[in-house]
Structure 1
Amino acid sequence: MVVSCKHESVIVVGAGCFGISTAYHLLQRGFTDVTVIDRSETLPAPDAASTDINKVVRTSYSDIFYTRLARDAIEEWKKTEEWGDTYRESGVLVSGSSDERPYASKAYINDLTLGVRTVKLDSGDAARAVFPANVKTGISFERSLGYLNLDSGWALAAQGVEKLMARVITLGGKVVSGMAVVGLMREDGRTSGVRLADGSSISARLVVIASGSWTASTFPELNLGESCLSTGQTIAHIKLTEVEAAPYRNVPVVLDFQSNFYVFPPNDDNIIKFGLHNSGVVHYTHGGTEKKIVSTPRTVSSHGDDGLRVPQSSLKRLRSSLRDVYPDLADKAFTSTRLCWYTDSPDGDWVIGYYPSDTGLFLATSGSGHAYKFLPVIGRIIADAIEGTLDPVIAQKFATDRKHLTFDQSRGLLRPLDLATEQLCLPEDLLP
């Protein structure tokens, strides 16, 4: 165990999925001085990836490690005394496997191996039968078949973070908003705290960086490069009336790994969210120095309403993909859009571990677009790594200095495009 005493101070930078779960699991293990700080004045931060109306919760992974971990997470999500109605087990329709991209077929095998309830969909009629009779489905289910995972669904994203944040505070942890970190303090060759935007600083025995897509730009001196690449993914919403939403209330999440399109059932406010799970876009800035160019989120917090605009080309693709799944929705106006900023590693695995040669600095980041579903349990892995008890094979899987020998197969192999602000959507682009 690197932190030799559980009474020593721990600062967690970032109150999103990684950060708040880390704090919770450390406190559960008897750590007594855990403080979570976040740049946002409002928590959960309105522009964080973990702050959204919903997130997919699925066991369907081509890597059985994540399938097992997701099973553990879902068992926790089902504890309504702790999570209330955060988790909704709608089922997830998984499709889009091919010889070139076998992700979905590998996920099916892993789900079967672990006893997940599944229904194979080997024809268009079988796929359409998953949906209520009064929901019209498109051609997506004719050309891309798959299976229905009955033991998965979706979660109310911001609500989940709020509930775990409350439990952190109940356990004696501190959660402080409006505290923007601008750099690290070092003493005798190791990190000793953080410097804040207001000129002050906070000392700590251990600094855990869980700042998501702001990691590389906030700490350019760490040379994280593409291990923590900030990418923006396009999502949009349609607001339905109660009558319009009713037929879709009991549909599963649709997740197509061929088109990279996903769509949720309507939430309690009759909003349907849909998006693209692909390589996204990058927004390069100098990250505080003229010598280090890093991708930096461009959000509602940094650019106001302009930060909610998405590329016109992605918006067109969203509408086309929506038509292929739910044609009756495709001619409705989009009520809002957003770039959801992920922190990506090339292989899609998280970055969890001590920074090389620095026992005072720990990284817990690079969710790669699939961390939120593990909110109840991801802090367990991080706490194990902090204490030095994590299985060595898993520790190497998430090591901060590992070599990336594979690439994330869930989103294709295309590199993210540069964000061209002159090509962002205008209000009229949201109309049908």
Structure 2
Amino acid sequence: MTSTKLVKDSPIIIVGAGVFGLSSALHLSQNGYKDITVFDKQPYADNAYSTTDGADAASADFNKVMRMSYGDEIEYQRLAFEGIKTWNAWNDGIRSSKTEDLPRGLKPTDLIWNNCGFLRMSIDGKLSDIERATLAGMTREGLRQTQFVLGDAEDEKRARSHFRRGEWEKKSDPFGRKKQGKELVGVFDSTAGFVEASKACIWAMHLCRRNGVRFVLGEKEGQVSTFVKNGTGRTIGVRTISGAEYHSELLILAAGGWTPYLFPSVSPLLETTAGSVVYFQLPPKDQAQDLWDKFSPENFPVFAYGGWSKGHGIGGFPRTEDGIIKIGYRGTKYTNYEDVQDPITGVKHRISVPKTKYWPQPHDPAITKQAVDAVKEVVREAMPELAAIGITGCRNCWYTDSLDNSFLVDFVPNDDGMLICSGGSGHGFKFLPILGREVVKIIERPGEKNAYGKLWRWRIKEGGPRNGLEQGEAGPRNWKKQVMATKDDWKFRENPSLYMESYG
């Protein structure tokens, strides 16, 4: 595809109203493209991206980690830092709006980006290689002063002048390890925190609509059933479940976990996987003021406990405004293999597809016993107050992993009418304000790829591990091989008061 084929009035279709689709639509509209339509099977205008009201995409969530820590991957670190400017501007835009001018699900007091900090805590007494690489990268970029190594005398001294009185002690040791006589090793990232994902999507959709972007949402009108091709095999539109056809000069497939389902040919590059999430609902505030205070964003950071994808694979967040504490397990990324027929070729593929609370049919969600046991182990050790409460809910969050954890934003080979925009690999949401800027560059100058265009190109990986894609259905992560946790498994059998006493 060349930039001369696409003009500002060309019809552009985006399939998917999650982070990749919204960011692409927003930046295309900001760059003067006037005919943009976003399709999604979920009625986001009605459910406001609420996971309790039917939203089941990964982008619909209470919160996501905002981090700039990327080891040697300096391009992602830089892009995350650039995005902070827009996150701050979005906070200001919401804060300065009248209630009646905001979309459903948002109010002027909402902070969609919260700079509460990110504690990357070691449990083996040493900093990992990726942690050291992150510190080196921050140093090269002149940002070392934003990182605080626990136990480093110079950093500890700097922290006490940087943070409010008492804040450093709370956020550097939220698990009370010092009181228990345990080592305190890790890094506190003062640039990081969390974003309120569902609310951020609502705001981004609002900005898109303000720029003239159209949204076709819902199970019939918004759900794409197939792509329309011309005689040469070029994508020229979509057909929805309702039977309606829509023409496009460019189609951007940004369907998150449903991307391989809709376009099975991409499955050698992308695989749909599930991360496991549990919730702890705090008692009413007037009954547990101490817990509400302790786990508030003012006193409690986002955390990774012993590494996000290694070791325990546990990470979590401060409480929400409704008193919900979310803890995620990503130590094992589960797959769900099913037969999927390519709607164009008729060829059947055996690929991993989502199985959410609402899709392919509504059901009570269950996560694996492996995930529940991993979370309970960390809670017993680090947050015994939550053991006294017990797990109150769970969710499987279906991402799309690429073969190397970098995004895929490129044209389909031999089809300049379709661009794949996916492969968030569990770290894409933070780029909502800025990802689309790079998507526009890739669209307009496909032969002149910059660092991100090269990083996100259509690719294969010869030999060696491929981020789990090499395991296939026979691998150990297959959903059908797992033992699923029951609500009885959610319970902490031991007397929680024993943990509270030992915690001090």
Same fold (TM > 0.5): yes
Shift of 1:405: 7.8
Please state whether the residue corresponding to 1:382 is helix, strand or coil. Answer: helix
Question: In the alignment, which residue of structure 2 is the partner of 1:251?
Answer: 300
- Return the match for 2:273 from 207, 212, 231: 231
Contact 2:127/2:185, CA 8 A, preserved across alignment: no
Separation in 2 of the partners of 1:204 and 1:301? 29
Which segment drifts farther, 63-72 or 97-106? 97-106
Shift of 1:364: 0.4
Q: How does 1:108-123 map to 2 (within 5 A)?
A: 108-116=135-143, 117-122=146-151
Q: Percent identity?
A: 26
Shift of 1:155: 0.8
Shift of 1:107: 1.7
Closer/same/farther in 2, CA of residues 328 and 183 from structure 1, 3 Å limit: same
- One-letter code aligned to 1:234: S
Separation in 2 of the partners of 1:408 and 1:248? 38
Question: In the alignment, which residue of structure 2 is the partner of 1:431?
Answer: 491
Closer/same/farther in 2, CA of residues 407 and 396 from structure 1, 3 Å limit: farther
Shift of 1:165: 0.2
Closer/same/farther in 2, CA of residues 408 and 115 from structure 1, 3 Å limit: farther
Residue 141 of structure 2 corresponds to residue 81 of structure 1: no
Shift of 1:291: 2.7
Shift of 1:345: 0.7
Please state whether the residue corresponding to 1:360 is helix, strand or coil. Answer: strand
Please state whether the residue corresponding to 1:217 is helix, strand or coil. Answer: helix
User: What do the CA deviations read for 1:275-320 (whole angstroms, capped 9, x no partner)?
Assistant: 0133410011111367311111000111666352101121111111
Shift of 1:206: 0.6
Separation in 1 of the partners of 2:304 and 2:430? 15
Residue 398 of structure 2 corresponds to residue 341 of structure 1: yes
- One-letter code aligned to 2:424: G
Residue 8 of structure 2 corresponds to residue 6 of structure 1: yes
Question: In the alignment, which residue of structure 1 is the partner of 2:427?
Answer: 370
Question: In the alignment, which residue of structure 1 is the partner of 2:30?
Answer: 28
Shift of 1:3: 4.0
Question: In the alignment, which residue of structure 2 is the partner of 1:151?
Answer: 191
Q: Which residues of structure 2 form unaligned runs of 5+?
A: 96-110, 160-166, 493-504
Question: In the alignment, which residue of structure 2 is the partner of 1:272?
Answer: 325
Separation in 2 of the partners of 1:93 and 1:268? 21
Closer/same/farther in 2, CA of residues 407 and 82 from structure 1, 3 Å limit: farther
Closer/same/farther in 2, CA of residues 265 and 5 from structure 1, 3 Å limit: same
Please state whether the residue corresponding to 2:59 is helix, strand or coil. Answer: coil
Closer/same/farther in 2, CA of residues 402 and 428 from structure 1, 3 Å limit: same
- One-letter code aligned to 1:16: G
Contact 2:70/2:76, CA 8 A, preserved across alignment: yes
Contact 2:113/2:196, CA 8 A, preserved across alignment: yes
User: What do the CA deviations read for 1:58-113 (whole angstroms, capped 9, x no partner)?
Assistant: 10111111111110111211112335410010000123498996222212222233
Question: In the alignment, which residue of structure 2 is the partner of 1:196?
Answer: 240
Closer/same/farther in 2, CA of residues 276 and 402 from structure 1, 3 Å limit: same
Contact 1:21/1:375, CA 8 A, preserved across alignment: yes
Question: In the alignment, which residue of structure 2 is the partner of 1:93?
Answer: 119
Residue 58 of structure 2 corresponds to residue 55 of structure 1: no
Residue 446 of structure 2 corresponds to residue 399 of structure 1: no
User: What do the CA deviations read for 1:335-356 (whole angstroms, capped 9, x no partner)?
Assistant: 1100100100121000001111
- One-letter code aligned to 1:72: E
- One-letter code aligned to 1:368: S
Which segment drifts farther, 302-311 or 206-215? 302-311
Shift of 1:428: 1.8
Question: In the alignment, which residue of structure 1 is the partner of 2:226?
Answer: 183
- One-letter code aligned to 1:356: P
Please state whether the residue corresponding to 1:277 is helix, strand or coil. Answer: strand
Contact 1:285/1:295, CA 8 A, preserved across alignment: yes
Pairwise CA RMSD of aligned residues? Answer: 3.0
Residue 170 of structure 2 corresponds to residue 131 of structure 1: yes
Q: How does 1:350-389 map to 2 (within 5 A)?
A: 350-388=407-445
Separation in 1 of the partners of 2:349 and 2:458? 19
Separation in 1 of the partners of 2:137 and 2:123? 14
Contact 1:280/1:416, CA 8 A, preserved across alignment: no
Closer/same/farther in 2, CA of residues 398 and 330 from structure 1, 3 Å limit: same
Contact 2:63/2:195, CA 8 A, preserved across alignment: yes
Question: In the alignment, which residue of structure 1 is the partner of 2:339?
Answer: 286
Contact 2:75/2:451, CA 8 A, preserved across alignment: no
Which segment drifts farther, 422-431 or 166-175? 422-431
- One-letter code aligned to 2:259: T
Separation in 2 of the partners of 1:168 and 1:399? 26
Which segment drifts farther, 33-42 or 304-313? 304-313
Closer/same/farther in 2, CA of residues 356 and 238 from structure 1, 3 Å limit: same
- One-letter code aligned to 1:268: E
Contact 2:6/2:249, CA 8 A, preserved across alignment: no
Shift of 1:423: 2.3
Closer/same/farther in 2, CA of residues 71 and 198 from structure 1, 3 Å limit: same
Please state whether the residue corresponding to 1:71 is helix, strand or coil. Answer: helix
Which segment drifts farther, 41-50 or 187-196? 41-50
Question: In the alignment, which residue of structure 2 is the partner of 1:19?
Answer: 21
Give the paired residue count. 426
Closer/same/farther in 2, CA of residues 189 and 342 from structure 1, 3 Å limit: same
Please state whether the residue corresponding to 1:182 is helix, strand or coil. Answer: strand
Q: Which residues of structure 1 form unaligned runs of 5+?
A: none
Separation in 2 of the partners of 1:47 and 1:431? 25
Closer/same/farther in 2, CA of residues 237 and 404 from structure 1, 3 Å limit: farther
Closer/same/farther in 2, CA of residues 29 and 133 from structure 1, 3 Å limit: closer
Contact 1:217/1:296, CA 8 A, preserved across alignment: yes
Closer/same/farther in 2, CA of residues 333 and 247 from structure 1, 3 Å limit: same
Please state whether the residue corresponding to 2:414 is helix, strand or coil. Answer: coil
